[in-house]
Structure 1
Amino acid sequence: MPHDASGDAIRATLARYCQYLDDGRFDDWTALFAEDCEFRVMGLHLVGRDALRGFIEPAQSEEMRGRHLISEPLIEVDGNRATVTTDYAFVGRDLAVQSSGRYHDVLACGDDGEWRFLEREIVFVGDQPADRSDRG
């Protein structure tokens, strides 16, 4: 099986997402997203890095942080874009699983060779992803 450099780079982006968030590195975390990104979670639909940055720090105060654990992602690369689904669990400081579900992502590889999130939707166990079939 040939080595998949795109897959490795995408996996690294997914790992950075978790580690930066868990460590409170919000500027680094926000830089993982495209300028015009879309982010959906808990009924919120945020557009753009500025909206994302304004949301994340209050939502991830130090006492709320734990560890985001992710499964092996399913990655489909088409040129400089990729669709990715990854199961996750969030473990709080009390070591209890506080949330689990699936990330539904679209990433793009920029001119700098970095893969960034164009879209991320977080779907909790028992919920369904948004119907985006009208997006062509």
Structure 2
Amino acid sequence: MTPTQTLSDYIEVMTLHADYSACVDAGEFDRWPSFFTDDCEYKIVSRENHDAKLPLSIMWLEGRGMLLDRVYGVKETLYHDPYYQRHIVSAPCIVAADETELRVETNYVVMRTKRDTFSELFNLGRYIDRIARTPDGLKFRSRVCVFDSEWIRNSIIYPI
């Protein structure tokens, strides 16, 4: 641990990740934006594009307003074959920490289950997070989901 990082930070980051995963896995998308700061960024990008520093992303939302718009789209306007998802998230690696922010990397696996089918590997990669220390606890300032494959199944509807 760095001098500005504590065991409490580690536990708070793990709790943030567990609560986030539980929220999206339960389909509680109305709560999803509450995990982010107002000026947040949420991005889903392929590893190839991320490593090459190319801007093309599957999804790129800036600000809580865009997250709220995505929630509305998921619940009210997008037509898709419904599915359940389940996150498996590794222990976080706190890369840097100071009084205002933590930089964290964490591996993830998302399984998807459609009704009347077997579960399947849906997406896997790593989260690259900038997590703000706020009066309301830790919040994602930036969450970049870097998926390893160059391919995705169909489309990504729900947050990763």
Q: TM-score of the superposition, structure 1-length normalised?
A: 0.81
Change (3 A) 1:62 1:37: farther
Task: Using the TM superposition, give the Cα deviation of residue 82 of structure 1 relative to its aligned residue in structure 2, in angstroms.
Answer: 0.3
**TM superposition outliers: structure 1 runs of 4+ over 3 Å:** none
Other-structure match for 1:123: 146
Aligned to 1:119, what secondary structure does the other structure show? Answer: strand
Task: Using the TM superposition, give the Cα deviation of residue 101 of structure 1 relative to its aligned residue in structure 2, in angstroms.
Answer: 0.5
Is the 8 Å Cα contact of residues 109 and 116 (structure 1) preserved in structure 2? Answer: yes
RMSD, aligned α-carbons = 2.3
Structure 2: gaps (5+ residues): 46-56, 151-160
The 5 A counterparts of 1:1-136 are: 4-42=7-45, 43=57, 44-56=59-71, 58=74, 63-75=82-94, 76-93=96-113, 94-112=118-136, 114-126=137-149
Whole-Å separation in 2 of the counterparts to 1:126 and 1:67? 18
Task: Using the TM superposition, give the Cα deviation of residue 108 of structure 1 relative to its aligned residue in structure 2, in angstroms.
Answer: 0.6
The letter for the 2-side match of 1:89 is V
What is the identity percentage for the equivalent residue pairs of Structure 1 and Structure 2? 28
Whole-Å separation in 1 of the counterparts to 2:121 and 2:85? 10
Structure 1: gaps (5+ residues): 128-136
Task: Using the TM superposition, give the Cα deviation of residue 123 of structure 1 relative to its aligned residue in structure 2, in angstroms.
Answer: 0.6
The letter for the 2-side match of 1:100 is L
Q: TM-score of the superposition, structure 2-length normalised?
A: 0.70
Count of matched residue pairs: 125
Whole-Å separation in 2 of the counterparts to 1:47 and 1:17? 18
Q: Which has the larger radius of gyration?
A: 2
Is the 8 Å Cα contact of residues 26 and 53 (structure 1) preserved in structure 2? Answer: no
Cα deviations across residues 79-113 of structure 1 (Å, max 9, x unaligned)? Answer: 2210011110011123221110011000011023x
The letter for the 1-side match of 2:33 is T
Aligned to 1:11, what secondary structure does the other structure show? Answer: helix
The letter for the 2-side match of 1:74 is C
Task: Using the TM superposition, give the Cα deviation of residue 10 of structure 1 relative to its aligned residue in structure 2, in angstroms.
Answer: 1.2
